[in-house]
Amino acid sequence: MSDTAHFPGQVPLHTALSGRELLDCPVLNKGNAFDRRERDLFGLHGLLPARIATLAEQVDLACMRLAALPDNFARHIALREIQDRNETLFYAIIDQAPESWLPIIYTPAIGRACQQFSQIWTRPRGLFLNYTDRGRIAEILASPQWDGVRVIVASDGGSILGIGDQGANGMAIPIGKLSLYTACGGLDPACALPVLLDVGTDNAALLADPDYIGWRHARVRGAEYDAFIAEFVTAVAARWPDIALHWEDLSGADALRILRRYRGSLCTYNDDIQGTAGVTAGALLAAIRAGAAPLADQRIVIFGAGGAGCGIADLLAQMMMRAGMAAHEARSRFFMVDINGLVCHGMEGVTEGQMPCAQPADVAADWQVADPAHVTLAEVMAHVCPTTLIGTSGQGGAFTRQIVAPMARQAARPVVFALSNPTANIEALPADLLEWTDGRAIIGTGGPFAPVTHAGRTRPVDQINNSYVFPGVGLAVMAGGITRMTDGMFLAAADALAGLSPAVGAGGGHDAALLPPVSALRPVAMAVARAVIRQGQAEGVAPAMPETGIEAMLAAAMWSPRYRPYEKTPPARP
């Protein structure tokens, strides 16, 4: 390898760091790819071996080492260590084969990473804002190292995937989500800030674990919790008026309350509620275009009436209303089932989020059920004859043959989306869903599954994952100057995603995928961002610009994992 600069035509990046400080900065470190000129300029001689490598050579070596590890969890840990040393190398590895690496850096490996985060955590990344820091949050955020932040993913670790309260171990989720923002949506990793709001935990095993890194205290709730969140949001809005604040894995009631409280005052959204709804709506639109019942004929059962289930019902109801259906009619098409049975008005414990799509109190008056006060999923399925069944329950195996098979007798192409994560919590396996519906079901899952063969035909299994939506949303905020996130933007994202469906292009064939391949997530993010910006302009929450301006801004905002030449920032004048 020549010892001259190997970055022809690239704009130099200026930095004041040098020596060990430069090598210790993961967003700037190149390892032994620093060329001789840069080693002279930044005082790196003696700190690096003589050989000068290319990024491609570093990727090949890293992949060889990763392949030699015993399992995907070991690879997850090794990749996180690479990310903490050299972010460009980390993303170049993922960019080489995203369909292979994304399940390792996020779902399903991220579930175990949360459970063992205290054991695998080695180097600070992002911010742990502890309840004991109240009164000082603005001071902590004021550090100059955060000047370039544009996207924050914040969690309190209260409701992680299907594994519940993980306390400070939930930091694996903001780190992982922001990794997907970059890998799938081109967010510059220097603009990303993961935040764990440590308000304690009610997980007894964590509190008893001597290795637990979080605040050893029962989870703070009620007014004290709300005041802590308010201090954080106020500090964020003052520090970064144009920030995108993404909430992740908050406890159910907290998630909806916080979203409704703050969505009018800054650009904030909850991915569990809105992102899940957006990708599910996009997948259902694609399914309809590929042969499922028309939107006007849809009857939808949602098993799991927490934030994700309520978000899906609300956005799909808005989609029906946009198509011309009256509001009361649209909301009557949804039958949400939770631990207390079919959600109806007047039931004890009905939440604010469940109310819009709750059924009338007497809906089951003429049904043959064991207990009218607790109508089960099987009883709902038998009486409603749904066209679509969606699972967000976290209850593995909840969809049985008894529940699913009747759908195939009522609908030519029944839709079954078993969305719970991690994989052990999925409501039904794809192979079973196809068997129970004579291969006619249009299926999707929350986690990755290999293609399934049924009756001699091999079918892809669509992963209906939020990574099809939220990276494009973040890119839209970065490029389009969006000041607020609206439900209309998530409907626009769903439309854009459905428009890219291979099933639509294939004329609805049974063997076609609903969603684009994982390898196409960057083009998907561009399409989603384009649609979100246009919708933001239509709603007056994004500045007007011509189409050419949108394209130029999106291209400029899209970061790619490649090394740039470095120049020394001149010292400030006294």
* CA dihedral for 134, 135, 138, 141, sign (positive or negative): negative
Identify residue 14 by its one-letter amino acid code: H
| Largest separation between any pair of C-alpha atoms in the chain | 84
User: What DSSP string describes 172-184?
Assistant: HHHHHHHHHHHHH
205 CB-side CA count, 13 A:
8
- As beta bridge partners, residue 196 has 128, 155
Mutual angle of helices 487-499 and 276-289, in 10-degree steps: 40
Can 106 be counted among the known catalytic residues?
A: yes
Q: Which one, of 229, 227, 202, 230, lies nearest residue 216 by Cα?
A: 202
With H, G, I as helix, E, B as strand and everything else as coil, classify residue 278: helix
254 CB-side CA count, 13 A:
23
Q: Which one, of 474, 479, 473, 505, lies nearest residue 492 by Cα?
A: 473
Angle value at C-alpha 459, between 497 and 412, nearest 5 degrees: 80
Strand (E) or helix (H) holding 331 = helix 327-332
Of 91, 177, 212, 262, the catalytic one is 177
Rounded Cα distance between 318 and 312, Å, is 10
Residue listed under structure tokens 């990793």: 189
Contacts of 261 (CB under 8 A, 6+ apart): none
- As beta bridge partners, residue 335 has 301
Contacts of 235 (CB under 8 A, 6+ apart): 137, 138, 141
Q: Which one, of 246, 224, 221, 220, lies nearest residue 233 by Cα?
A: 246
Of 91, 106, 262, 563, the catalytic one is 106
Can 30 be counted among the known catalytic residues?
A: no
Burial 496-527 (b: 16+ CB within 10 A, else e): bbbebbbbbeeebebebbbbbebebbbebbbb
Contacts of 355 (CB under 8 A, 6+ apart): 345
Q: Which residues are catalytic?
A: 106, 177
